[in-house]
Every structure is written in structure tokens, then in C-alpha cells.
Amino acid sequence: MAHCFHCDKTTVLGRSHTHKRGVAGGRWKKRAPKTNRTFRANIQHVTAIISGAKKSIKLCTKCIKRIKKDIVDGKKPFLELAHLSASSKSKIQSSNVKSSSKLKI
């Protein structure tokens, strides 16, 4: 079962509810059926730099978004992704500055 390298998010079991009106008059002919289902985490394969070496790991999209937001905000992210090199980091920050300056005017 896949799980996130950082937050250990994984597949969770749950139930799905459907609600039917039944017959006319608002009465319930049968009880609303509840079926089992799975809630799967959105896990992606990424290449990260861990202790100076590139390593392929699995991260959930929420953790990937957090890394990108930390870079934009100028904070040190908890993990460095290999595909976000120095040039792409500056592109992310410059595009964010341009979009924020448009909003302020």
C-alpha cells in the first residue's frame, strides 16, 4: 500500500451513503443503503535530494504544494525536490511577484 514519505498519508476505508426519497408522501420505503468504499491518497513519484544524493520517493500532493509554497514564501522547505533547480525556483518566485503586483494595483 502506497504512503507519503513525509506525512504517512495512505488509503483509508469508509462508507458511502445514498439517500432516496422512497414512495410519494415522503415515506422511506427502505433504509438508505451504505456501501463500503476506499478513499485513496493522491500519491506522486518525485525525485528528492536527501543527504546530498538524489532519491526517488512518493509524496502526497499536499506535501508537494507545501514545498512549492515554502519556496515562494522564502522559507526553507522540509525537503528539496530535484526538479526544482535554482533557475526554476527563481521563475516560481518571479511569477508569484508579478501576479501579486497585479492584484495590489
Write out the residue range of the structural domain in which residue 59 sits.
12-20+31-99
| Tens-digit pLDDT profile for residues 25-82 | 566 566 677 889 999 999 999 999 999 899 999 999 999 999 999 999 999 999 999 8
Closest-CA residue to 4 (of 51, 92, 88, 66): 66
Considering the entire predicted model, what is its pTM?
0.67
Q: How many domains does the chain have?
A: 1
| Residue 26 resides in a domain | no
Residue 64's beta-bridge partner residues?
none
Closest-CA residue to 51 (of 79, 76, 74): 79
| Tens-digit pLDDT profile for residues 74-93 | 999 999 998 885 556 566 66
**Which residue in this structure is represented by grid cell 508537494?**
64
Separation of CA 100 from chain center? 23
Residue 43's beta-bridge partner residues?
60
- Is the separation of the CB atoms in 58 and 40 below 8 Å? no
| Residue 79 resides in a domain | yes
